[in-house]
Amino acid sequence: MKKIAAAALLAASLSQMNGEVFAAEKTHNTEKLPIREHESFIRNIPDQMPRFKFDSGFEFTYPEAVRGIYVTGHSAGGEKFNQLIDLIDKTDLNAMVIDIKDDHGYLTYKPEETSAFKDIGKPYIKDPKKMMKTLEEKQIYPIARVVVFKDTALAQKKPEWSYKAGNEIWKNGRGESFVNPFVKEVWDYNVQIAIEAAKMGFKEIQFDYVRFPEGFENRDASLVYSMGDYKDVKMDNVQKRVNAVTDFVAYARKELEPYDVKVSVDIFGYTATLPEAPGIGQNFSKISENVDLISSMIYPSHWTSYFGIAKPDTEPYKLVVEYAKLEKRKLDELKTPPISRPWLQDFTASWLGSGNYLIYGKKEVEDQIRALNDQGINEYLLWNASNRYTPKVDYTP
């Protein structure tokens, strides 16, 4: 009887924690069961009670293939949101990647007064529940973008979690600071934000800037920073960085399991061409083994003379085809490969200089989509930092 009562209490407790309601006959009144039914009940109690999934109250169905756009917090909370909803309504697009923690380290909405993240909340998305309700009504698949290790706000608040150059917090050439992937408190900080996004109703968490700063191999020895639990691990610093980044991804995915969300990671496209990117700690294969989806940023403008293409921005179809072939080979080596959902370019890279770039419009965007489809990749995301997407594009797979 004690075993029955304990099982009932555990089930009820788990049920309450996850917003589930158990029927009374499943958890109570076991006193009235005949002896044989008592024995059967005891035998059928699992050794480990099942984990219950959190229910946000919103219902979204995963599309046959995600075709999404990037949406800033300002756009999601402003007049442009309705324009972007209209774009999706009138096309074969079906998803939004919405900034929840932005490139500066701020939340794009104001959390509750009791939230541990109250001080980093910004009022860009004034009514998150209303936004999520609109997405639900339109069945637009919601993906929360959480920028992880590029975080000027947290670096300023917790310098010991960042890097120091002399007595100052290190900044890159754009004045941005990063926090340290070796520090596990930074992991928890970002995972808790991801959990909040899941509770809001997002069905996928997309982690971005899951890496050390670019060129870190050149300042590894000059900056002052903690190596945490990796300090005494017997391996070189390149492998320590790879381990820290990979371990964070695996940890985050595990912690998010009860919230019934998919986990994806943005990664530099060129990392698939290397055993690992030595400075930033990204290993394409190791990260891919720990996510549901991998989103390589394969903008033609961001490549140099890879794949024998002298001016990649001027040949979007060829560049994307060559990348997709390479990525497929890498993913085929994995036991359980993630879904490939690359980021494509919907902007003009005029900074490349005359003759090195194209003005990206309908044809150039469609060429990239067609290139993916020709290689069997049906999912993709479109990036435009200002959320100004090319009109009249055929997004059909």
pLDDT in tens, 146-186: 999 999 999 999 999 999 999 999 999 999 999 999 999 99
Q: Per residue in 65-112, pLDDT tens? A: 999 999 999 999 999 999 999 999 999 999 999 999 999 999 999 999
Residue 39 has pLDDT above 60, yes or no: no
User: Do residues 387 and 73 make contact, with C-beta atoms less than 8 angstroms apart?
Assistant: no
Residue 216 has pLDDT above 70, yes or no: yes
How confident is the model at residue 56, as a pLDDT? 86
State percent of the chain over pLDDT 90.
Answer: 84
How confident is the model at residue 254, as a pLDDT? 98
Nearest to residue 298, comparing CAs of 322, 279, 328, 332? 322
User: Do residues 106 and 122 make contact, with C-beta atoms less than 8 angstroms apart?
Assistant: yes
* The residue to which tokens 């003759």 are assigned: 355
Q: Please tell me whether residue 127 adopts helix, strand or coil conformation.
A: coil
- Dmax (CA) of the chain: 86
Separation CA 238–CA 172 (nearest Å): 20
Residue 359 has pLDDT above 60, yes or no: yes
Contacts of 297 (CB under 8 A, 6+ apart): 266, 267, 268, 269, 342, 343, 383
Map out the domains of the chain with their CATH numbers: 2-43 (no CATH), 67-297 (3.20.20.70)
Q: Per residue in 298-324, pLDDT tens? A: 999 999 989 999 999 999 999 999 999
Distances (CA, A) of 234 to 181, 225, 238, 239, 338: 18, 18, 12, 10, 30
User: Do residues 150 and 209 make contact, with C-beta atoms less than 8 angstroms apart?
Assistant: yes
Distances (CA, A) of 360 to 157, 168, 378, 390: 40, 41, 21, 8
Confidence of residue 53 (pLDDT cuts 50, 70, 90): confident
Confidence of residue 52 (pLDDT cuts 50, 70, 90): low
Residue 42 has pLDDT above 50, yes or no: no
The answer to whether the predicted template modeling score (pTM) of the entire model surpasses 0.85 is: yes
Structure tokens at 262: 């998919």
